[in-house]
Amino acid sequence: MAILLTAAPLLAQAETFTMTCQAEASVAGMGGKKFSPAKISAGVQLIGDNLFIRLEGPDVYQIFASSLSSEKAVGKNLTTGKSIGVRTHKKDTDFESEIRIDRSSVSLSAFHDMDYQGKKVRINIEGPCQLPK
């Protein structure tokens, strides 16, 4: 398993490496409010020198983060020997999104900021992932 995940950053340009994760989400600022667990997909894509990771599932689980920087957002590649990861900071809203996938355990750890009833809250997402067969 770790061998395949290690190869993820070496994918051909624009090819997406997708895995399935069983995730749980909670809100950091609202007494740890938990959302129903969900089966989500995590797609990792390398285009040029930029890493893109997208989580797809129910609304609260949808996150996109990349290492690409532009006039609207600052991206950072957080990939290390231990994990693959990216963080995006949106300049206009001051919201952040971060997604990390541990290489050895193939587990997901992510967060994203969102507006909830006029208040900025941080949604934390965690769970194990399965590599494609």
Asked if the model's pLDDT at residue 16 lies above 90, the reply is: no
Q: Could you report the per-residue pLDDT of 77-95, keeping only the tens digit for each?
A: 999 999 999 999 999 999 9
Could you tell me the domains of the chain? 2-130 (2.40.160)
CA of 59: how far to CAs of 27, 56, 132, in Å? 14, 8, 24
- What does each C-alpha distance from 65 to 42, 80, 86, 117 come to in angstroms? 11, 16, 6, 24
Looking at residue 133, what is its pLDDT?
77
Instruction: Write the DSSP symbol of residue 34.
Output: B
What is the pTM assigned to this prediction? 0.86
The rounded distance, in Å, linking the Cα atoms of 35 and 32 is 10
Q: Is residue 64 within 8 Å of 52, Cβ to Cβ? A: yes
